[in-house]
Structure 1
Amino acid sequence: MKWFGGNQSNDVEEGSSSGGGRGLAFGGGIIGLIGAVIYMFTGFNPAQLLDGGGNKSEQINTVPGGGTDSREKQFARVIFEGTTVVWDSLYTARGETYQHPVLHFYTDAVEAGGCGYAESATGPFYCPADSKVYLDLSFFDELANKFGAPGEAASAYVIAHEVGHHIQNLMGTSEKMQQARGSMSETEYNKLSVKLELQADFYAGIWAHYTNKNNHNNIVFEPGDVEAALNAANQIGDDRLQEKYQGRVAPDSFTHGSSAQRMRWFKKGFETGDLSQGDTFNDASTASN
């Protein structure tokens, strides 16, 4: 993936605190990645970390433009800006204004405004309460070395997936999830969560479609990049992770979808570029795991 020369997002900040409060956070690969391992070994859903705990406070710093950041940080800022360019254009075409999210870099742990305290083991996540994507850059190494999904295209897919949750927030889907949380059994809510995560995969595919077509923000997909993104979706499917880490598959505990589902919905977004085809909540293929 070529990305040098792309503009770096200015919708960025970093630090370990971002305010307080409680809310529902949405993961990206993310209980489907590092967090899934915690869940499978302990039975504890890492998303619960985002509902409580922690009273840490540390100053938030806005990250200035310039070329002094690490390669990983520059990459994340360019990809994040690339998602903004794509969604700006799509919202403009609909006669609407895209409300930008913020990319929040942190190390080890963070107090996410409105979503509580989380540690880096939770993985990247999106907090609808403050419209921010939270990212510990060490995750990229985990993605490549522990989960078998190397390459910058795989990392870009994860960022685009988190921005997909922001799109859901703007469309009111996140609020509906919050309302549903208290009225469903855990199994019922897990099935709804799968639909949510698969739609975020579809939106990541939408980003890839228009980036590949138009080289938005000077990001260029090279041969093998789409396959790398699909491989990431495959490696972080709930069934694959459960089989790998607990030796059995328990569909009722899926929260992000199977490998086949995750690849299918990313690929559908990538191949069609059509937002109207991303209704995972009413699609028969997501009715069961």
Structure 2
Amino acid sequence: MANFIAVLEEAADRVTVALDALLPRSDGPETRVMEAMRYAALGPGKRIRPFLAIECGRLVNAEERSLLRCAAALECVHAYSLIHDDLPCMDDDDVRRGRATVHREYDEATAVLAGDALLTLAFEILAHPDTHGSAARRCELITRMSAASGARGMVGGQMIDMADDKSDWDIATITRMQRMKTGALISFATEVGPILSDCDAFVRRAFEGFAHDLGLAFQITDDLLDVEGSSQDTGKRTRKDDSQGKATFVGILGVEGARNQAERLIAQAKDHLDPFGERAKILRDAADYVLTRRG
């Protein structure tokens, strides 16, 4: 696991350097929103989604420069989603990744605009010829990230999560919500490599299955961390799901049931990587890491 952590941190550092170069700077009157964008995107974080894009892409021999740009675009979308999730009209959080949330560090209006700008920057990055020489490949990246981020993906999942009455929710409803809210962007991360390179349908299905099970396991461990973790470990407020009336896997399955389900999903996720043999060891380690992470 120590070797995996080193690989994860190396990928995170590379993405941070790329984001530092890609995020706009200004000394004009719009400087405040650009500073807020950089505060959100360049702050501490594991950068799991960019890592998955890079590692899955390496398995199918995608070009490193292209993978890094896509990874940076992914992190822009993720950072935007966290800014908006933390707003008073959403989860109303004051701390994220051990620091003040963007609306607390700046103000609410700046946070909204910084999130908007990060989302649009992500598509600007994907659309640029530096991402791939083929306009068709760039269009496919944009199409797939749009679907993962929008009303049928992450945004739609957040909307479901904000429903007032969750009294009749069952495991199928919660699974659908989390596949959209958390899983969609993780799935896109594993699609980046196949889009950038020439992959057959068999390889795409393997990545699709891996992402599906990994994404659900990731959310279950997030639910467990909210119940069992500390704010020092997670870098954010814990034990908030129950107080806010949120429907979670832990709420339906219980702590042990949720942990067992996460373990089953991780085993399945690793099975999907069998076609890649030992070359997928880092991705298998990533799956194991999801079970043991503390933040």
Q: TM-score, normalised by structure 1?
A: 0.33
Q: TM-score, normalised by structure 2?
A: 0.33
Q: Which has the higher contact order (CA 8 A, sep 6+)?
A: 1
